[in-house]
Amino acid sequence: MTNIPNARSILRKGLMLAGGATALVLAACAPQTAQKDAVTPESAKSFIAEVEQQLTGLGEEAARASWIRATYITEDTQWLEARTVSRITELAVKYAKQAASFDAIADRLDPGTRRKLHLLKIGLTLPAPGREGAAQELADLSTDLDSTYSKGKFEFKGKMITLDDASEIMANSRNPEELKALWTGWHSIAPPMRANYAKLVGLANEGAKELGFADVGDLWRGGYDMPAADFAKETDRLWDQVKPLYQELHCYVRGALNARYGDAVQAKTGPIRADLLGNMWAQEWGTIYPLVAPKGQDSGIDLTARLKAKAYDPLKMVKTGEAFFSSIGFAPLPETFWTRSQITRPEGRDVVCHASAWDIDARDDIRIKMCTRVTAEDFQTVHHELGHNYYQRAYKDQSALFRGGANDGFHEAIGDMVALSITPAYLKQIGVIDAEPDSSKDIGLLLEQAMDKIAFLPFGLLVDKWRWQVFSGEVATENYNDAWWKLRTQYQGVAAPIARSEADFDPGAKYHIPGNTPYTRYFLARILQFQFYKAACDQAGWKGPLHRCSFYGNKEVGAKLQAMLETGLSKPWPDALEAYTGTRQMDASAIAEYFAPLKTWLATQNEGRSCGW
């Protein structure tokens, strides 16, 4: 999972569109067209031209401030970023309010100007109120929450450990008491965030209302080229398409865990104990695949072991990811990528290890920030992050307001679409494995994929469902934790390993909550990546089972993909989707096709079990 910091996405977070200038300079620089001229189509175009001129020149320093804070967390770097964020937020709110002044003549504007004005209005993830000091307060709260998470450590077996340490132990431990201690320890870092998070919600809602939205959730849902209420229904429609497969997977995995641990640890019915699933948030279950692998049908590939046996290090993993994109015709990464990225965790300082892809100057200074380990998971993550970087570079020639993914799910889906092409055939081509497993191993391969791809879907949906309820006031501050676990039980069918109460703030133990990163993009990305992947395989003329397709080396596929990426945000996402896939609707039927053999097999394995929770 990732943030994708660049000029557009910094505006989305209230983090990046300007920077470096004093508050006085920002006030002086802000376009005044809408205030001093009549509200006409001509003045709207003039306003947009002024805004884009400012955006072209004001993004880089803010991006650098954010990069320095993320890769060198100190009180000073936090202070610098918070001040920059404050100024950017004030400027972005000013832009948004001026853009709203043209609403009355929207039907008289050309499509490009109308679209850019809308993008300005929805550009802030956390809009600050216009009153004096509010932008600074919001920036301080945002930076404090992010840094509290990133510096989080807890005691485990007499030693202070980080989330990275805990995640590695959790992925490999099969001791229920140890897993419970790790889960409880990490979640203990979150309660101090609760009060500041509630303040942040109040301030951001106040800002959203000043822009004409009901609340921040309404603003977020407005970024998908459809009415906000329709978008919420669209996510429910997509979930209904994949829910039956998830329920079969849940039932099978719960049965395997019960067989391993017994009724006292994991019952045969009801929710799954979250810490037993090998991931701190039970969002992906791939690390426990060995516990559930079908006898005689396991995938036969331990990718982590193979990478280590082939002397992969973090740099070689990133070079391999680059080579995939080069094979389909994309230009190599710039030399500055290799000299400026954070590929491994630095010694002796606090950093944000959460993987992300960065576009510093909206041209060629693209980077990744990772604390890469030689694991199958990070091998996939490398391809994912590079997908962001290649997308960022593809739309660099668009005007400033059109530099972004067609929607945020597109941006997340591109690298994952490539990662789906990491098939046994591909691994053999690059020398990681010596021979492909035969078709008798396909159920194992599909199950291993589903443990990550399908297991994630309900979590990808519920994170923002929780936030939408918080922003709307449906969930009050005193019910944060209860509402979180109701949704996790409803959608994921998981439960905490120990009793939880409102003394806890378990949402804060997931980076995207204190990091204020919208999460629905990841749910959409899991749908879109399969839709894109099937389109790529069709373009490549693939005739076999969908899950065996790799388009590695196919420059025809790459050329069509590049054409879609280059359009950025200049067109509504259904136009971009149609250009690449031939349909204007997001659709999960490619997931159904990909996993069809597994779903049939799971249903057979689950006969006689009481599925559901």
Per residue, the 3-state secondary structure of 201-227, as one string, reads HHHHHHHHHHCCCCCHHHHHHCCCCCC
Residues 164 and 247 reside in one and the same domain: yes
User: Quick check: is 2 in a domain?
Assistant: no
Q: How many domains does the chain have?
A: 3
User: Quick check: is 590 in a domain?
Assistant: no
CA 157 to chain centre: 32
Residues 234 and 213 reside in one and the same domain: no
d(CA 595, CA 420): 13
Residues 212 and 67 reside in one and the same domain: yes
Consecutive H or E run containing 272: strand 272-273
Candidates 227, 160, 216; CA nearest to 188 is 160
User: Quick check: is 371 in a domain?
Assistant: yes
Q: What is the DSSP letter of 490?
A: I
Alpha helical stretches, state H, 227-312: 228-261, 289-292, 303-309
Copy the structure tokens of residue 596. 């069809």
What parts of the chain have a pLDDT lower than 50?
7-36
Residues 77 and 123 reside in one and the same domain: yes
User: Quick check: is 198 in a domain?
Assistant: no
The reported pLDDT for the residue numbered 2 is 52
3-class SS of residue 357 = strand
Candidates 281, 354, 239, 411; CA nearest to 1 is 354
| C-alpha distances out from residue 421 to 10, 255, 548, 560, Å | 30, 30, 8, 16
Residue 440: CB partners within 8 Å, gap ≥ 6? Answer: 296, 297
Contact 257, 291 (CB under 8 A): yes
Per residue, the 3-state secondary structure of 424-449, as one string, reads HHHHHHCCCCCCCCCHHHHHHHHHHH
Residues 310 and 293 reside in one and the same domain: no
User: Quick check: is 18 in a domain?
Assistant: yes
d(CA 250, CA 454): 10
The reported pLDDT for the residue numbered 295 is 84
d(CA 524, CA 586): 8
Pair type for strands 272-273 and 159-162: unpaired
Residues 337 and 239 reside in one and the same domain: no
Residues 489 and 362 reside in one and the same domain: no
The reported pLDDT for the residue numbered 5 is 53
The reported pLDDT for the residue numbered 85 is 75
d(CA 26, CA 55): 12
The reported pLDDT for the residue numbered 22 is 26
Candidates 6, 33, 32, 30; CA nearest to 17 is 6
Candidates 370, 389, 406; CA nearest to 6 is 389
Residues 363 and 375 reside in one and the same domain: yes
Q: Which residues are catalytic?
A: 354-355, 384-385, 388, 412, 512, 522
The reported pLDDT for the residue numbered 97 is 86
Candidates 380, 327, 389; CA nearest to 358 is 389
Residues 263 and 121 reside in one and the same domain: no
Task: Look up the pTM and report it.
Answer: 0.86
d(CA 516, CA 519): 9
d(CA 59, CA 64): 9
Residues 496 and 391 reside in one and the same domain: no
User: Quick check: is 325 in a domain?
Assistant: yes
**Count of CB atoms within 10 A of residue 388's CB?**
27
**Count of CB atoms within 10 A of residue 221's CB?**
24
In the block, tokens 């709110």 appear at 93
The reported pLDDT for the residue numbered 37 is 56
Consecutive H or E run containing 181: helix 176-187
User: Quick check: is 587 in a domain?
Assistant: no
d(CA 116, CA 568): 13
Residues 427 and 558 reside in one and the same domain: yes
3-class SS of residue 456 = helix
| C-alpha distances out from residue 337 to 318, 364, 390, 512, 583, Å | 11, 9, 12, 25, 35
3-class SS of residue 358 = strand
Residue 535: CB partners within 8 Å, gap ≥ 6? Answer: 580, 581, 582
User: Quick check: is 543 in a domain?
Assistant: no
The reported pLDDT for the residue numbered 537 is 96
Residues 359 and 385 reside in one and the same domain: yes
Q: What sign does the CA torsion over 170, 171, 176, 180 have?
A: positive
Pair type for strands 272-273 and 494-495: parallel
Residue 343's domain comprises: 304-433+548-570
The reported pLDDT for the residue numbered 439 is 80
In the block, tokens 């099969």 appear at 174
3-class SS of residue 296 = coil
